[in-house]
């Protein structure tokens, strides 16, 4: 079974602890075929920025060392902010990434982890605010390959543990998925939600199914690992879910282009 984990963080990220080399050694031991490093690029005052020149230097050294043992990809995860899209575009154009993952972590600089995000709004209104911000980001930004953990908001805003039904947010979700497809962009299936004891992935199966029904074809697998222990986790489950939806491949990015690798 071919496993290309397209969402992995190291100690270059503000929330990572393990080095690139430690991640690679663990991936080799777990017989993972490919690791794509997607360390955070966040333009936030409370999060230190990566020195991407040094990041790329370390990556290239390790690629030379490990090229006969494991495939590697140079990636980036960008927490998009609507008023700084030009700066995200600049970093992508500065380096030769294999894979560019866009995400929405905050809405107008406010995290769903903070009480102020939820002031005077319902849980569903909080979800809608998040997706509308994401929609505006996608409308105004093109320089990415896939959108990460589309329903990330559920990770921190599911106070009643009921999540949401697709139909409750169908208009905005349909528009997001159709826009991604029209721009030639993909989605990732992010398995990190499983590690927190939930049954679903990011995004949930309703969103994945809808993306496929609309004609979406570009889908990557990513664990959002910040530790070697979760590398490659649930790949088999992701492939089975996709097979149930009539998709028997997963995408592997090289030089910003997807390759379609059969999973069945």
Backbone angles phi, psi at 127, to 5 degrees: -65, -45
Rounded (10°) CA dihedral 197, 198, 202, 207: 170
Furthest-apart CA atoms within the chain: distance in Å? 56
What pLDDT is recorded for position 165? 86
Which tens digit of pLDDT belongs to each residue from 221-261?
Answer: 999 999 999 999 999 999 999 999 999 999 999 999 999 99
Residue with tokens 């991604």: 180
List of domains in the chain: 4-262 (3.20.20.140)
Q: What is the pLDDT of residue 193?
A: 85
Spatial distance between the Cα atoms of 125 and 169, rounded to a whole number of angstroms: 10
pLDDT < 70: residue spans in the chain:
158-162
């Amino acid at each position: 079974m071919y496993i290309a984990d397209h969402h992995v963080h190291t100690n270059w990220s503000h929330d990572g602890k393990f080095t690139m080399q430690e991640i690679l050694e663990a991936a080799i031991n777990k017989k993972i075929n490919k690791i794509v490093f997607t360390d955070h690029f966040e333009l936030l005052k409370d999060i230190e920025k990566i020195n991407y020149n040094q990041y790329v230097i370390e990556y290239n050294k390790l690629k030379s060392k490990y090229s006969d043992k494991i495939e590697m990809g140079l990636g980036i995860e960008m927490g998009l902010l609507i008023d700084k899209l030009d700066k995200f575009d600049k970093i992508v154009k500065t380096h030769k990434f294999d894979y560019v993952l866009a995400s929405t972590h905050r809405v107008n600089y406010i995290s769903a982890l903070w009480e102020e995000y939820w002031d005077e709004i319902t849980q569903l209104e909080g979800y809608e605010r998040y997706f509308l911000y994401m929609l505006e980001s996608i409308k105004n930004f093109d320089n990415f390959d896939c959108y990460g953990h589309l329903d990330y908001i559920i990770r921190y805003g599911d106070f009643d543990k009921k999540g949401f039904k697709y139909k409750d947010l169908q208009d905005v979700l349909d528009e997001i998925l159709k826009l991604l497809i029209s721009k030639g962009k993909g989605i990732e299936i992010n398995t990190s939600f499983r590690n927190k004891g939930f049954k679903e992935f990011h995004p949930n199966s309703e969103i994945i199914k809808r993306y496929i029904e609309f004609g979406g074809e570009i889908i990557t697998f990513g664990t959002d690992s910040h530790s070697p222990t979760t590398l490659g986790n649930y790949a088999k489950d992701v492939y089975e879910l996709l097979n149930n939806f009539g998709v028997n491949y997963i995408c592997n990015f090289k030089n910003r282009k997807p390759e379609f690798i059969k999973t069945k």
